[in-house]
């Protein structure tokens, strides 16, 4: 199979993975009503999942290092499918939580290992663009997936969403098994690989920036529907439009990132994405309650989101190419830490009846991210600096 087909299939796998992870954000009210819990409890499905994903990304990367990527990635998607179906059949909130935690323990492996896999399949100079292309799947989960989740859950109920995502995961698993050659297996990770990343000050700054960037974004995004309801009285149809606006802008940002990464260095490209995100957070905070201002703010947030995440992965690859498997796994992990922080922060502020303060909390996190980025400089270590990269020959 061609590299182009493999990139498209891994993009589709990221779309399903992103949807499985984020779907509760698009149907918080139907979930809360159907499971007889509060909005904050429904939001905890994202928080609990983020904790599992945070731990699972590096642990699963290490534990599954000897499994060919074809079977690892397709198997992970099949477990996601089983978890979605179990959620659709769940009689209560506790069962949904349990099914979510199990499936996301395996979903954690997909995004970082898809990036590492495509990096093995293409020439070195094409890796940043290939990784950015595969990451487009997450943008599509925002652009098309979440609006569909919002409308489908309002029309057919939350169980229909789980059935649909489960069916999509099964199809994606079969495509991955078809698209990836059996011989592809990135360098085997050992504990020293993760320790090498954690000992690198430049890499740690990139990881911290990823955490703060994600936390700031998702403090607003994960509670977009209840925030709109609280601040403007908007219903699920308007929320679906806002999710689509965020996703469409995110998709545009991803396309820009895929083109830009071949022309300018990842760090200045990330600075541009962060600038868009900061502008969106400022506008959301000062324009809370004004639908037009909030719409522009969401577009700015969305434009920076996937663009910024793709550039962070490209920065890690540029800084230490031979540590990409470990660094991208840890980057995915800290993104999920940021997701947990963002969901917990936004949920807590909403529970206090202070919806207008959510944007300011997000702005504080994004400002801290800007400080970290300003204090960092990208480089590229030579072979002598990569003596202990924590990989073993295949």
Q: What's residue 356's pLDDT?
A: 92
d(CA 10, CA 315): 21
Range picked from 143-157, 173-187, 292-306 for highest mean pLDDT: 292-306
Q: What's residue 78's pLDDT?
A: 96
Residues 6+ apart with CB under 8 A from 65: 188, 189, 190
CA-angle at 310, arms to 267 and 381, nearest 5°? 50
Give the domain range for residue 279. Answer: 3-392
Residue 258: pLDDT band (50, 70, 90) is low
Give the range among 104-113, 240-249, 325-334 with minimum mean pLDDT.
325-334
Q: What's residue 209's pLDDT?
A: 94
Mean pLDDT of 47-56: 80
Q: Is the pLDDT of residue 377 over 80?
A: no
Among the listed residues 8, 393, 391, 392, the one whose alpha carbon sits nearest the alpha carbon of residue 180: 8
Q: What's residue 344's pLDDT?
A: 84
Residue 392: pLDDT band (50, 70, 90) is very low
pLDDT tens-digit map of 294-352: 999 999 998 888 778 778 877 887 777 777 667 877 887 788 788 888 888 988 898 88
Mean pLDDT of 228-240: 85
Q: Is the pLDDT of residue 61 over 90?
A: no
Higher-pLDDT residue of 217, 237: 217
How many domains are contained in the chain? 1
Give the range among 144-158, 180-194, 248-262 with minimum mean pLDDT.
180-194
CA-to-CA separations, 145 to 137, 158, 296, in angstroms, rounded = 10, 14, 20
Mean pLDDT of 152-160: 91
Q: What's residue 88's pLDDT?
A: 95
Q: What's residue 188's pLDDT?
A: 59
Mean pLDDT of 205-231: 90
pLDDT tens-digit map of 73-108: 999 999 999 999 999 999 999 999 999 999 988 888
Residue 279: pLDDT band (50, 70, 90) is very high
Classify residue 33 as left (phi > 0), alpha (psi -120 to 50) or beta. alpha
Q: What is the SS3 assignment for 1?
A: coil
Q: What's residue 321's pLDDT?
A: 75
d(CA 103, CA 312): 26
Range picked from 22-36, 48-62, 351-365 for highest mean pLDDT: 351-365
Give the range among 154-158, 187-191, 204-208, 283-287 with minimum mean pLDDT.
187-191
CA-angle at 253, arms to 249 and 257, nearest 5°? 170
Q: What is the SS3 assignment for 391?
A: strand
Q: Is the pLDDT of residue 33 over 50?
A: yes
Tokens encoding 17? 């993975």
Contact 81, 89 (CB under 8 A): no
What is the Cα gyration radius of the chain?
19
Higher-pLDDT residue of 241, 168: 168
Residue 222: pLDDT band (50, 70, 90) is confident
Q: What is the CATH number of the domain that holds 243?
A: 1.20.1250.20
Residue 51: pLDDT band (50, 70, 90) is confident
The percent of residues above 90 in pLDDT, for the chain, comes to: 33
Q: Is the pLDDT of residue 190 over 50?
A: yes
Distance of CA 28 to the CA centre of its chain: 18
Q: Is the pLDDT of residue 386 over 50?
A: no
């Amino acid at each position: 199979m061609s590299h182009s087909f493999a990139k498209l299939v891994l993009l589709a796998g990221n779309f399903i993975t992103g949807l499985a992870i984020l779907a509760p954000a698009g149907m918080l009210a139907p979930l809360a009503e159907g499971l007889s819990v509060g909005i904050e409890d429904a939001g905890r499905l994202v928080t609990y999942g983020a904790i599992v994903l945070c731990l699972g990304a590096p642990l699963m990367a290490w534990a599954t290092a000897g499994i060919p990527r074809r079977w690892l990635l397709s198997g992970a998607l099949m477990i996601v499918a089983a978890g979605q179906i179990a959620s659709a059949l769940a009689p209560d909130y506790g069962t949904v939580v349990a099914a979510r935690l199990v499936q996301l323990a395996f979903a954690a492996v997909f995004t970082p290992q898809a990036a590492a896999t495509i990096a093995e399949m293409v020439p070195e100079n094409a890796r940043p663009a290939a990784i950015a292309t595969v990451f487009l799947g997450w943008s599509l989960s925002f652009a098309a997936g979440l609006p569909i989740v919002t409308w489908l859950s309002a029309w057919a109920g939350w169980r229909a969403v789980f059935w649909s995502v489960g069916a999509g995961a099964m199809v994606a698993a079969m495509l991955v098994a078809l698209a990836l050659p059996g011989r592809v297996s990135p360098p085997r990770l050992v504990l020293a690989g993760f320790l090498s990343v954690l000992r690198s000050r430049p890499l740690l700054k990139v990881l911290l920036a990823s955490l703060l960037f994600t936390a700031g974004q998702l403090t607003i995004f994960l509670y977009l529907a209840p925030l709109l309801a609280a601040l403007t009285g908007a219903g699920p149809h308007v929320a679906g439009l806002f999710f689509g606006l965020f996703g469409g802008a995110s998709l545009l940002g991803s396309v820009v990132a895929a083109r830009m990464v071949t022309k300018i260095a990842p760090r200045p490209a990330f600075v541009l994405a962060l600038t868009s995100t900061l502008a969106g957070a400022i506008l959301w905070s000062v324009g809370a309650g004004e639908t037009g201002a909030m719409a522009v703010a969401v577009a700015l947030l969305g434009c920076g989101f996937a663009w910024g995440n793709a550039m962070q992965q490209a920065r890690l690859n540029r800084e230490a190419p031979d540590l990409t498997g470990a660094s991208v796994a840890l980057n995915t992990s800290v993104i999920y830490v940021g997701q947990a922080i963002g969901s917990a922060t936004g949920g807590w502020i909403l529970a206090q009846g202070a919806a207008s303060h959510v944007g300011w909390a997000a702005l504080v996190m994004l400002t801290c991210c800007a400080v970290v980025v300003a204090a960092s400089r990208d480089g590229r270590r030579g072979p002598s600096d990569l003596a202990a990269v924590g990989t073993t020959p295949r």
